[in-house]
Amino acid sequence: MNIEFENDALQELYIGGATRDSKYKRLSKDIVRQYIKTVNYLKAVRRIEDLYMIKSLHYEKKKGDLKGVEAVWINAQYRLLFYSSPDNDGIIVNALLFEISKHYE
């Protein structure tokens, strides 16, 4: 899957394992390591439907206020939120990562 980052902080976390962004700089090394692993899973799949086969990600399309947003688990407490879009053939192969969200906050 093609991965894009909506903000520099998420890209810095993925590439360097740290960021100066106040929202994410306090994440533990374990969470950052899991985030990198999760992004690597997203990069490895060929299309969005393949995420259903990786049970540990708990892939879901959000409802209600977050309609149109998709999420995968980083761990039991954190979610990686993203938008997906199809290619020219209508197969969803693009993901725009936009936030690491603490579940229930």
Task: Provide the β-strand partners of residue 99.
Answer: 81
The CATH number for 36's domain is: 3.30.2310.20
Question: For the chain, how many structural domains are there in total?
Answer: 1
Residue 26, domain extent = 2-102
- For 104, left (φ over 0), alpha (ψ -120 to 50), or beta? left
pTM, rounded to two decimals: 0.91
Using pLDDT thresholds of 50, 70 and 90, give the confidence band for residue 87: confident
Half-sphere exposure of 39 (CA within 13 A, CB side): 20
pLDDT, one tens digit per residue, over 5-37 is 999 999 999 999 999 999 999 999 999 999 999
- The pair phi, psi for residue 26, each rounded to 5°, is -95, 5
